[in-house]
Amino acid sequence: MPLKIAIQKSGRLYDDSISLLNDCGLKVDNLKDQLKAKVRRFDAEILFLRNSDIPKYLEDGVADLAIIGENTLIEKGANVETLLNLGFSKCRLSIAFPKEFNYKGPESLAGKRIATSYPNTLTSFLKKHGIDADIHQISGSVEIAPNIGLADAVCDLVSSGSTLFQNGLEECEVVLRSQACLAANRKSITEKSALITELTSRIKSVLKARKNRYILFNIPNEKVEEASSILPVLKSPTVLPLMEEGWSSLHSVINEDDFWDVINQLKACGAQGILVIPIEKMVI
Ligand code: AMP
């Protein structure tokens, strides 16, 4: 039986989901307007589903795996297992008030009308803080609710904050932080363990590669040791002799977060001809 992988059929997660699967060697043909597509050279099928339906389909075993926002899984209370965080679609579910409001903490929410598409997550947050508020569930364009008099505040997904800003709202409280994740049906984890292990290990290799860069540069021989100590290496750097007497070429892998710090230190150490190259996969 093929591994059934659910992804969003349209929306924010779609492009990143397809590109992650592609990078893992799961190439899908004829994507447009399909509900289901076969994968070439991997025993899997992709199911293109509505985002909000995915947790239920996953829980029921219609899909074995899904790429989905953690926020959606939590809101739907899905009994599934999160296997990996995928590092994209990072966002937070936040409470925002019109910017003139003087927010002092969760107690400021007491008795307020809050518009949201995440009633369950908001209810748990209010309960945790012992606050009684009036939740207005709406399915889209939550941010306009205060402007049209429907609510005093909103509880909505935020990434850059520009939508809130454009609507005169200010983020006051983060209820939940979320990103896309790979989630699994609990039974499928054992029943399809070989395929799931293979796919998760490919995803880990791709995610690791995306965070790292291959770096190579020339360095005088007497500086090789000093330059090596600057590099946060995988094992130890590769050192190759150059044709020019007294010089070596040093190769290593660096994390993109350390990138500019490391480059500046290497330059100060005498590195020349620094090349930085993206890595396609880092097999773990
Ligand atoms: P959508 O395309 O609106 O159905 O959103 C799908 C998912 O994208 C959401 O459930 C979140 O996990 C994620 N997402 C990331 N950033 C945002 C954002 N600023 N607004 C809405 N959704 C976001």
Task: Print pLDDT tens along the chain (284 aa).
Answer: 999 999 999 899 999 999 999 999 999 876 667 899 999 889 999 999 999 999 999 999 999 999 999 999 999 999 999 999 999 999 999 999 999 999 999 999 999 999 999 999 999 999 999 999 999 999 989 999 999 999 999 999 999 999 999 999 999 999 999 999 999 999 999 999 999 999 999 999 999 999 999 999 999 999 999 999 998 766 688 999 999 999 999 999 999 888 899 999 999 999 999 999 999 999 97
Q: Is 121 in the pocket of ligand 1 (CB under 6 A)?
A: no
Cβ burial of 139 (10 Å; 0-12, 13-18, 19+) is exposed
Nearest CA to ligand 1 atom 14: 89
Which atom of ligand 1 is nearest to 89's Cα?
A: 15
Cα 130 to Cα 108, 133, 137, 155, 210, distances in angstroms: 12, 10, 20, 17, 42
What local confidence, expressed as pLDDT, does residue 34 receive?
82
Nearest CA to ligand 1 atom 5: 12
Q: Is 278 in the pocket of ligand 1 (CB under 6 A)?
A: no
What local confidence, expressed as pLDDT, does residue 258 receive?
86
- State how far the Cα of 279 lies from the Cα of 270, in Å rounded to an integer: 25
- State how far the Cα of 184 lies from the Cα of 204, in Å rounded to an integer: 16
Which atom of ligand 1 is nearest to 71's Cα?
A: 12
What local confidence, expressed as pLDDT, does residue 29 receive?
73
Ligand 1 pocket mutation, candidates 13, 88, 166, criterion most atoms within 8 A of CB: 13
What local confidence, expressed as pLDDT, does residue 186 receive?
98
